Amino acid sequence: MPTTKSLPEDFLWGFATAAFQIEGSTDVGGRGKSIWDDFSRLPERTLDGKNGDVATDSYKRWKEDIALLRLYGVRAYRFSISWPRIIPLGGRNDPTNPEGIQFYSDFIDELIYNGIVPFVTLYHWDLPQGLHDRYGGWLKKDEITKDFVRYSRVCFGSFGNRVKYWLTINEPWCISVLGYGRGVFAPGRSSNRTRSPEGDSSTEPWIVAHNVILSHALAVQLYRDEFQPTQGGIIGITLNGDMTIPYDESPENIDAAQHALDFAIASLSQDPIYLGYYPEYLKQVLGNHLPEFTAEEWNIVKGSSDFYGMNTYTTNLCKAGGNDIFQGFVDYTFTRPDGTQLGTQAQCAWLQTYPTGFRQLLNYLYKRYQIPIYVTENGFAVMNETNMPIDRAINDTNRVEYFRGNCEVMLAAITEDGVDIRSYFAWSLLDNFEWADGYSTRFGVTYVDYETQKRYPKGSGKFVSKVR
């Protein structure tokens, strides 16, 4: 197993969370409303019909959470700041919330006091509802870019003297495709009128992705110009994407796996940010629905990340001939031609274990982009864990096996393959509000009894705490 001697000396090891998934207290401390507040209350938007009003009550129990981190002995903690807690209405001319700023300032101070490095995400999906109501949020480039830059400025100015690792935005693909294409995440816009009364899945996801990337790039430009020279931190974006491999050795399925990578990895964010152009297959499929950056915007977008922020969970076998544009017209499966499964099935239909794929993806990304990789999310949801008695749930052997396999191949990627990997954040510190799954899916290394909010360390938390 990896040890402190085999990993790089400055390697950042820890757990990750997101504000809306853990904080609760949605109407406390001057916080404004986010797009997830009302969306999660709509019928059939979450699997269990529950919302994020309480979550894991971490806005009130934050010292307890830091004590957990100290118990696990982590070196770093990735968490997100709630935009509507900092600027309740969200806009560049709207007032800030001193109580919200003080909350995160105290939280950061407590982390540092306990020897834990804060690794901060500015935006993890909780857009202020005020901006969505005012002009459509991510759909309006000229407005959202200015408002995100102003929000970023407040955070850099308030916390940047202590925060040296910044992520601008979490998973642009999920924001755009799940929020404005499939309509399963807030704000839930889609062409499917059984799901949403408004939205256009053929155009809006690509408009949103374009505006998200430009907002990210402008925030990075601000940081580099005005804050990085004195604060000395680094800044980037974190991008989701899983490994895709051919279902078999047929030419059409080999092509399908690459096409899936073009959509899942190169796609809307990665190639523009790191290479300065879109992949050809993406342009071929989307045609004139893909917004183009101006020459001035390309100059801002290209190179707008100091590292590759990597959120990944699984590997998919790929077949040609799918009908889902959001997967590049490729079918995904975990079932091999001989009928066996790729790995152990998780609670989520989209997730199985397969550490070999994790190593392949680390190598693919490093070869393609030649930039340090920070693994910012990686985790597993045990099947039926929410229905287990606590004493059984905390003995989460399948999650331990997931982390063991991925940590072993990550070490091999560093020591044998020469991949420059600088962090690993396991998802997640706590069981929490898992977006459209509500509380029916548990990714935590700590079991949360949602009735009492008592925390119980799982076997996986104890395991990961030794792998550092």
pLDDT in tens, 248-260: 999 999 999 999 9
Q: Find the CATH number of the domain harbouring 220.
A: 3.20.20.80
**Least confidently predicted of 1-10, 109-118, 400-409:** 1-10
Candidates 78, 82, 85; CA nearest to 111 is 78
**Taking the model in full, what pTM does it have?**
0.97
pLDDT band at 468 (very low <50, low <70, confident <90, very high): low
Q: What counts of helices (H) and strands (E) characterise the chain?
A: 19, 13
pLDDT in tens, 113-169: 999 999 999 999 999 999 999 999 999 999 999 999 999 999 999 999 999 999 999
Range of the domain at 124: 12-241+260-315+353-466
pLDDT in tens, 29-70: 999 999 999 999 999 999 999 999 999 999 999 999 999 999
Q: Which residue has the tokens 């975990």?
A: 334
- 377 flagged as catalytic: yes
Q: Given this model, what pLDDT does residue 348 score?
A: 97
Examine the pLDDT at 2 and tell me if it is beyond 60: no
**Cis bond before residue 84 (omega within 30° of 0):** no
In SS3 terms, 443-468 reads as CCCEEEECCCCEEEECHHHHHHHHCC
Q: Given this model, what pLDDT does residue 266 score?
A: 81
Q: Given this model, what pLDDT does residue 421 score?
A: 98
Domain contains 116: yes
Handedness of CA 413, 415, 419, 420 (dihedral sign): positive
What does 143-209 look like in DSSP terms, one character per residue?
HHHHHHHHHHHHHHHHHTTT--EEEEEE-HHIIIIIHHTS--STT---S-TTT-SS--TTTHHHHHH
Domain contains 341: no
Of 204, 377, 385, 434, catalytic: 377
**201-218 average pLDDT score:** 98
CB atoms closer than 10 angstroms to residue 320? 19
pLDDT in tens, 259-290: 999 998 888 899 999 999 999 999 999 999 99
What does 363-416 look like in DSSP terms, one character per residue?
HHHHHHH-S-EEEEEE----TTGGGS-HHHHT--HHHHHHHHHHHHHHHHHHHT
Q: Given this model, what pLDDT does residue 268 score?
A: 87
Examine the pLDDT at 5 and tell me if it is beyond 70: no
Domain contains 377: yes
CB 107 within 8 A of CB 162: no
Examine the pLDDT at 1 and tell me if it is beyond 70: no
- Tokens linked to 156: 């850099």
CB 333 within 8 A of CB 247: yes
Give the number of domains in the chain: 1
Examine the pLDDT at 4 and tell me if it is beyond 60: no
Domain contains 23: yes
181 vs 128: CA distance, rounded Å:
20
Domain contains 337: no
Those residues whose C-beta lies under 8 Å from the C-beta of residue 190, and which sit 6 or more positions away, are 180, 181, 182, 183, 196, 199, 201
Domain contains 255: no
Examine the pLDDT at 193 and tell me if it is beyond 90: yes
Domain contains 50: yes
pLDDT in tens, 299-335: 999 999 999 999 999 999 999 999 999 999 999 999 9
Of 23, 110, 171, 385, catalytic: 171
Domain contains 458: yes
- 280 flagged as catalytic: no
- Tokens linked to 179: 């929020």
Length of the chain: 468
436 vs 423: CA distance, rounded Å:
28
Q: Given this model, what pLDDT does residue 347 score?
A: 98
Q: Given this model, what pLDDT does residue 466 score?
A: 86
